[in-house]
């Protein structure tokens, strides 16, 4: 199992609701994907312009297929236009 943390900082002045509308659609479509265990969107308690997606995938192949999916290729470029920065980290459990 692989966990992914994708942290986005929105550009100053961006309408958060505009971003959330697209991001919520990404969440709904991604949850239907093979290999997706969990995919949730979170807002920072102290700074609503920081939004983080927490993901859990069966394996790297599932993530690779996700990154090539139609909805990701269509919507993520729109989300990137609204972001100041993005940090993506992949994790595996240490046993």
Say which DSSP state 35 is in: T
Dist CA 69 CA 63 (whole Å): 10
Dist CA 79 CA 22 (whole Å): 7
CATH domain 2-91 topology: Alpha-Beta Plaits (3.30.70)
pLDDT for 16 equals 95
- Closest residue by Cα to residue 72 from 40, 15, 28: 28
pLDDT tens-digit series, residues 10-39: 999 999 999 999 999 999 999 999 999 999
pLDDT for 43 equals 97
**25: Cβ contacts below 8 Å, ≥ 6 apart:** 71, 75
- In 2-95, DSSP assigns E strands to 2-10, 36-43, 50-57, 83-92
Say if residues 44 and 87 touch (Cβ distance below 8 Å): no
Q: Which two tokens stand for residue 4?
A: 């992914």
pLDDT for 22 equals 97
Which residue ranges make up each domain of the chain?
2-91
pLDDT for 59 equals 96
pLDDT for 36 equals 98
pLDDT for 63 equals 97
Q: Which two tokens stand for residue 51?
A: 């939004």
pLDDT tens-digit series, residues 47-76: 999 999 999 999 999 999 999 999 999 999
């Amino acid at each position: 199992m692989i966990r992914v943390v994708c942290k986005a900082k929105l550009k100053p002045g961006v309408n958060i609701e505009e971003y959330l509308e697209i991001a919520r659609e990404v969440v709904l479509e991604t949850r239907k994907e093979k290999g997706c265990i969990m995919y949730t969107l979170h807002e920072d308690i102290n700074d609503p312009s920081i939004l983080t997606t927490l993901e859990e995938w069966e394996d790297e192949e599932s993530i690779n297929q996700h990154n090539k999916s139609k909805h990701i290729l269509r919507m993520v470029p729109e989300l990137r236009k609204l972001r100041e920065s993005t940090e993506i980290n992949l994790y595996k459990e240490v046993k």
